[in-house]
A = this chain, B = another copy of it.
Amino acid sequence: MYRTHNCGELRMDNVGQTITLSGWLQASRDFGGMTFIDLRDRYGITQLVFNMEDDEALCNQARKLGREYVLKISGLVRERTNKNPNRPTGNIEIEVKSLEVLNAAKTPPFTIEEDTDGGEDLRMKYRYLDLRRKKVQDNIIFRSELAIETRKYLANKDFIEVETPVLIKSTPEGARDFVVPSRMNTGEFYALPQSPQTFKQILMVAGFDKYFQIVKCFRDEDLRADRQPEFTQIDCEMSFVTQEDILNTFEGLTKHLFKTTIGVDLADFPRISYDEAMEKYGSDKPDLRFDMAFTELNDVAQQKGFSVFDNAELVVGICATAQANAYSNKDIKALTEWMQQPQIGAKGLVYVKVNPDGTFKSSVGKFFSDDDLKVWANKMNAKPGDLLLILSGETEKTRKQLNNLRLEMGRRMGLMKEGDFKPLWVLDFPLLEWDEESNRFHAMHHPFTSPKKEDVDRMMAGDHETMKSLRADAYDLVINGSEIGGGSIRIHDRALQSRNFDLLGFSKEEAADQFGFLLGAFEYGAPPHGGIAFGFDRLCAVLKGQSSIRDFIAFPKNNQGRDMMIDAPATISAEQLEELALLLQKKEVER
């Protein structure tokens, strides 16, 4: 037997008991006559004591042990004279009577502490050591708890968890698929699912009524820091529901998760339309921990002789409360340059400072009188001491630029407070999005999303321009500026689905080849249905107030899609390629 207790559970009640513990040597302190060892496991840390006077041989053995050695000890629980109130086991210690080294350990390449000295690459390679750090381990345990609470809530609401297949069929719509060559059907490939979308719809056609799954999904995309080639979704679908039913159910789930895992009570979630979100925040995932909403100034800033504004499609600004004094000319210049970086691409930045005496200081002072600026300030609800920041240009671009500026000002002003959570439903997304580059429509959500009921006739019969104005029963859940989930009411009518495939540029053959089973299913009694999927990795990170999803994945891949620990992907054998009837293209010689 390796232990009678774990390293986190002994208390004053256990004093006098003879116990056995196993764990890792976290730290040791040698005071000549006495040696202390902190023994660690998942559950906590317990202090061990070795005394020269009691057992010299044992004490000498203990002094030689290094960090991360795996030990099994037996001994007597006793009260500590020097208690440690910061540790749950801090009132007791173990007078060790016997010691067995279960495994030795080389010196770890970085310290197993809250703040380690190891760089990211090193920690990824030795992920088994990185995962010993309490912070990282806590994240993974938190993820496990979040999954438990998710399942508890959904099972209570009659949702059934159904496993959908991982080996499916490649469909070019959307992101790039990972594919899996078939040995039994050479020349053919499976694909890994980007989501179980069509399967969950099939489950609705099959009458499962309420489906969910916490499920791995796969996208072969060029990776950014917060993307992973495999990621996890809370995937849901419901039959005989309207958008309102879905919003209520998953607002309920979100509140449940916040309450049970981090003890936060969320108020009812505000809702805004996609159009309003773009107008007020220049983003379909605004961070509402602070307001600083956009004010459009065309009616008061144009036709006053400032040609930059006069020629702009949109003049729009934000009011940074009490920031007038915080920004010197030099600061404004730096902020302007920040806005001009290629990733943002603003041409310039106009500022107006509202002085305490009612006057104004502005970079466009020669074009506008104080009376003009006063109109702006009023329109933006500015008070003395506030700083107005104004951009102009083409509507969509300018809004995106101002979104960047708003978020940057929020950061600088400390308005993104830890522990503050501001969820938001964004509704009424456009159904289709015209892509100038490829000269075709893309599905804004995905090809199975239904237009709003009142837009169905226009969609079936309308012209090209009409299509751009169609609105969908599609919705996103946004928390603190992160998109946590999105979903839609789906099409359940074959003719409407076919029309959507047409609009998206599928030929009849392509539609039949890729989604024939779904079109077929719609002919055999498909119920009205809709659903949503939450990004589980992102949800973990947002709940814990962290920015990287990678810290919530036990074995993440790096930006090159590589698992640094096992060193994958890797070459495979000639026999494997032969069995799959595959040849590798010769790489071009690099110069």
Contacts and interface: CB of A to CB of B under 8 A. Distances in A.
A192 interface: yes
B165 A155 contact: no
A26 to B, nearest CB: 11
A261 B361 CA distance: 75
Interface in A1-55: 1-3, 6, 22, 24, 40-43
Contacts of A137: 206-208
B527 A242 contact: no
Contacts of A6: 209
Contact of A102 (B168, B189, B520, B527): B527
B180 A180 contact: yes
A165 B526 contact: no
B493 A103 contact: yes
A22 B240 contact: yes
B169 A567 contact: yes
Contacts of A576: 170, 177, 179
Given A179-B180, A240-B2, A131 B525 contact: no
Interface residues of A, number: 123
Contacts of A584: 186-187, 581-583
Contacts of A72: 240
A539 to B, nearest CB: 14
A132 B206 contact: yes
Contacts of A493: 103
Interface of A: 1-3, 6, 22, 24, 40-43, 68-70, 72, 102-106, 108, 126-129, 131-132, 137, 140-141, 143-144, 147-148, 151, 155, 160-170, 172, 176-192, 198-199, 202-203, 205-209, 216, 218, 220, 222-223, 229-230, 232, 240-242, 492-493, 516-517, 520-528, 553-555, 557, 560-563, 565-573, 576, 579-585, 587
- Kindly report how many copies of this chain are found in the complex they form together: 2
11 contacts: A2-B241, A41-B209, A42-B207, A131-B208, A132-B206, A143-B163, A163-B232, A167-B178, A170-B572, A180-B192, A184-B561
Nearest to A581: B585
A41 B528 CA distance: 13
A178 B179 contact: no
Greatest chain B CB density within 10 A among A169, A242, A520 is at A169
Contact of A566 (B168, B178, B527, B528): B168
A229 B140 CA distance: 29
B517 A167 contact: no
Contacts of A223: 184
Nearest to A21: B240
A573 to B, nearest CB: 7
A497 to B, nearest CB: 12
A105 B523 contact: yes
Contact of A202 (B104, B106, B128, B182): B128
Greatest chain B CB density within 10 A among A1, A6, A162 is at A162
